[in-house]
Structure 1
Amino acid sequence: MANLNKFGQEVGADVEGWTTRAFPEKVVLKGNTCRLEPLDSEKHGSELFSAYRKAGQELWTYVPVGPFNDLEEYLKFIKELSETKNIVPFAIINEETERAVGTLALMRIDQASGSLEVGYVIFSPELQKTIIATEAQFLLMKYVFDVLQYRRYEWKCDSLNGPSRRAAMRLGFKYEGTFRQAMVYKGRTRDTQWFSIIDKEWIYIRKTFEQWLDKGNFENGRQKRGLANIRENLLS
């Protein structure tokens, strides 16, 4: 049934008891294989720079920054990033090695509407396609939806960045559309694809991650069921 105002116009559904959401804090988020720590240039910079150097320069193709010529240049960047007002960046720590192996950040934070974006998803070769990579994403989602109680969690990427598109879909984000010529970066144009998860979808997405991360879903380090398969079964 349509929701009409007193003028007979169709309007969006009422959001009962809505209040402005808190700004994300610089917290530590702990999982089984990894933890997220507030990004710190002195604590994490050298380890991250070393981890990223194991990849080729193609790691930075679709990132607005980088590649970095030396450690000093990279430390300057993450110091500026950690001090940026509307960005809350995290280092991903491998619990087994106690080393920083990648980053994530909360950005474009709209407290009034309960919406934000995950960005600066920069994973070193040590992190790519691992259980840690998936659990790190889950830890941040849990913080956004369960603790901060935001309504909308966004993912954006260059429309030509196939790995990022596939990662978004695997994690449960829904494709929303493409903003044409949305940016100019590194001297070239970018069409930006938008994806999101909203609060009413989080219930089954959370269950999907919990079932995938369960130790019984792995044998000799290999998954028995993928995230997409688990999600489909939960929705059927």
Structure 2
Amino acid sequence: MNQTIFQIQQTLDHEKIKLIPLEIHHSSSLFEANHPEIWRFMLSEIQTLDEMEQWVRSAVRLREQEKALPYAVLLKDENRIIGTTRLFDINLEQRSCELGSTWYAKEFQRTFVNSVCKYLLLSYCFEDLGMVRVQFKTDERNIPSERAIERLGAVKEGVLRNERILSCGYIRNAAVYSIVNEDWLKVKQGFADRDQKYQTMGIGNSPAE
């Protein structure tokens, strides 16, 4: 694992979803997917195309600084960008990172999309990058997000008080979770079990956590 992961960011592929390196030209597609509710617990709020372009530029800049791997979420059947996610706070020496800054178009929330994206990213972290820790943080008020992270098999480690000041001025507490390399086989099996359950039920794809 070395710095080439930033110069040549790997595309992560699945039957229905592809995670592709986020680029400036994705801004308009992401703005089309935008909805005010997306930003309720996020660090910033996007209301205009210009703000979306600035948000994307900031994410791309983090990749150039070798601090993050931002992705656009492509729905393959429709060749449509429906959201974004990223790995950030990447520490190659300590083999750790955080998974977050994730959002999807409203119609794809609580669908198979989030499960597929998390599976692709976690597989990449533990099986390709050799990570020993992947961290998640979420606003303590965002109970659905906490439950979703817990269903992945992540372990809650505690709450960081006054962890971040949001763009609206609210000072949030952040719940911190992690999955470590010793957990990965069990977490991976959980993805497989959920997929099998919903295939048997005829749903076709497990809903997001």
Structure 1 residues 45-194: aligned runs within 5 Å: 45-52=27-34, 55=35, 57-68=36-47, 70-84=48-62, 85=65, 86-186=67-167, 187-194=169-176
Q: Deviations over 1:138-170 (max 9, x none)?
A: 001110000001000000011111121111111
Structure 2 gap segments, 5+ residues each: none
Match of 1:67, SS state, is coil
8 Å contact from structure 1 (residues 33, 131) kept in 2: no
Q: Deviations over 1:54-75 (max 9, x none)?
A: x3x232121112222x212211
Tell me the CA shift for residue 81 of structure 1.
Answer: 1.2
Aligned equivalents of 2:79 and 2:207: distance in 1? Answer: 27
Match of 1:112, SS state, is coil
Aligned equivalents of 2:192 and 2:147: distance in 1? Answer: 20
8 Å contact from structure 1 (residues 92, 102) kept in 2: yes
Tell me the CA shift for residue 189 of structure 1.
Answer: 1.0
8 Å contact from structure 2 (residues 109, 208) kept in 1: no
Tell me the CA shift for residue 119 of structure 1.
Answer: 1.5
Aligned equivalents of 1:227 and 1:208: distance in 2? Answer: 13
Tell me the CA shift for residue 115 of structure 1.
Answer: 0.8
Structure 1 gap segments, 5+ residues each: 1-20, 229-236
Tell me the CA shift for residue 91 of structure 1.
Answer: 0.6
Aligned equivalents of 2:198 and 2:102: distance in 1? Answer: 28
Tell me the CA shift for residue 221 of structure 1.
Answer: 2.2
Q: Greater CA radius of gyration, 1 or 2?
A: 1
Structure 1 residues 1-12: aligned runs within 5 Å: none
Which structure shows the higher helix fraction? 2
Kindly, what percent of the aligned residue pairs are identical? Answer: 26
1:199 to 155, 159, 181: 181
Structure 1 residue ranges (4+ consecutive) displaced by more than 4 angstroms after TM superposition = 225-228
Tell me the CA shift for residue 79 of structure 1.
Answer: 1.6
Tell me the CA shift for residue 227 of structure 1.
Answer: 9.1
Q: Deviations over 1:33-60 (max 9, x none)?
A: 1010001121x221111111xx3x2321
Match of 2:116, SS state, is helix
Q: Which has the higher contact order (CA 8 A, sep 6+)?
A: 2
Q: Deviations over 1:179-216 (max 9, x none)?
A: 11122222111111100000011011112212323487
Tell me the CA shift for residue 137 of structure 1.
Answer: 0.9
Task: State which drifts further: 70-79 or 26-35.
Answer: 70-79
- What TM-score do the two structures reach when normalised by structure 2? 0.88
- What TM-score do the two structures reach when normalised by structure 1? 0.79
- The one-letter code matched in structure 2 to 1:36 is L
- Call closer, same or farther: CA 1:227–1:92 in 2, change over 3 Å: closer
Q: Does 1:36 find its partner at 2:2?
A: no
Aligned equivalents of 1:72 and 1:22: distance in 2? Answer: 34
Partner of 1:6: none
Aligned equivalents of 1:194 and 1:214: distance in 2? Answer: 29
8 Å contact from structure 2 (residues 18, 76) kept in 1: yes
